[in-house]
Amino acid sequence: MSLLEVQGLSRSFGGLKAVDGVGFAAQAEKITAVIGPNGAGKSTLFNLISGSIAPDSGQVAFDGAEITGRQPHEIARLGVSRTFQGIKLAKGMTALENVMIGRHTRSRAGFLSAMLALPWSRSEERSIREEAMRAIELLGIAQYASRPAGSLPFGIQRSVELARALASEPRLLLLDEPASGLNVRETRVLSELILRIRGMGISVLVVEHDMSLVMGISDEVVVLNFGRKIAQGRPKEIQADPEVISIYLGEDDA
């Protein structure tokens, strides 16, 4: 059984069918990439899976359980975390605090216990901080931990967002164009990081334009065009697929 199964997913906006009957499966502990030209429906697909938008039709199942149309926070609690294409950090909070939000699903302290500063909630807070620091150190951004997130360089903000997602100890990590805005060196560092993440037992679903990243690390590639899936397979197969080549003809995304 696949970790993530998408079947017949469709969503329209106005008259435009952004996602049209897309179906695929992402395997556990593998890196699955979703690629396609601009406007192919990749981001919409992501939003449908993560629960930000509800589909018009189709199903999404995670770990055998149906998550179609569920609220984003419920899906997060099942072990799915994501990053966003335009970075969505709380700019007023420090990098560490942002990553600590990632521990939300792994902690319990509620309003009452927090307001009364009950001992167990205080010690949970300490462990939230420790785990968050661990994720921050994993991404090598420890020196930025107490800086307000809005003041950080773009590449570091990306890392903070990734640390936040990792802090939640997800089973499935959705990465929405993680390489956008990164230079060649940074992209390479990112590739290595994603491989390390897979090594930690976390499955990855990544939407990306950058072909070198995609082809370099993916176990499986899904190709979308005009909202439809037109190909799926190993990177080498996709690279050789004539239909895929034709839709990318003339576009060099490396």
Partner 1 sequence: MRLQRLLPAAILAACAFALPPLFAAMGVAFLLTQLTMSAYYALASLGLCALMGYAGQISLGQAGFFAIGGYASAFLCTRDLGAAAAPSGLVRLLDSSGLLVRWTDPYGKALLTLAPALSGLCAVLLAVLVAALLGTPVLRLKGHYLAMATLGFGIVIEKVARGTKALGGADGISAVPGLAILPGLSVTGGRAARSANFTIAWIVLALGILVLTNLVRSRPGRALRALRDGEEAAAAMGVDTARYKLKVFVIAAAFAAIAGVLLTHYNGSIGPGEAASTRSVRYVAIVAVGGMDNLVGTLVSGLVLNFLSLRGVFGSFDDAVFGAILILVMLMSPEGKAARAFRSLLPKRKVAGR
Least Å distance, CB 177 to partner 1, is 15
Contact pick of 9, 34, 76, 213 for partner 1 (by CB under 8 A): 76
Site string for partner 1, 81-110 (x = CB under 8 A): xx-x---xxxxxx---xx-xxxxxx-x-xx
Site string for partner 1, 109-128 (x = CB under 8 A): xxx--xxxx---x--xx--x
Interaction of residue 58 with partner 1, rule CB under 8 A: no
Residue 118 or 195 with smaller CB distance to partner 1: 118
Interaction of residue 180 with partner 1, rule CB under 8 A: no
Q: How far apart are CA 99 and CA 172, in angstroms?
A: 17
Query: Rounded to the nearest 10 degrees, how much is the dihedral formed by the CA atoms of 107, 171, 165, 143?
Result: 90
Q: How far apart are CA 160 and CA 163, in angstroms?
A: 5
DSSP 8-state assignment for residue 241:
-
The answer to whether the beta carbons of residues 98 and 164 sit under 8 Å apart is yes
Tell me the CA end-to-end span of the chain in Å, nearest whole number.
Answer: 33
Interaction of residue 168 with partner 1, rule CB under 8 A: yes
223-242 residues in contact with partner 1 (CB under 8 A) are none
Please choose, from the candidates 6, 11, 1, the residue with its C-alpha nearest in 3D space to the C-alpha of residue 61: 6
Q: How far apart are CA 189 and CA 235, in angstroms?
A: 20
Residues at the site binding partner 1, with contacts judged by CB under 8 A? 13, 50-54, 71-73, 76-77, 81-82, 84, 88-93, 97-98, 100-105, 107, 109-111, 114-117, 121, 124-125, 128, 150, 164, 168
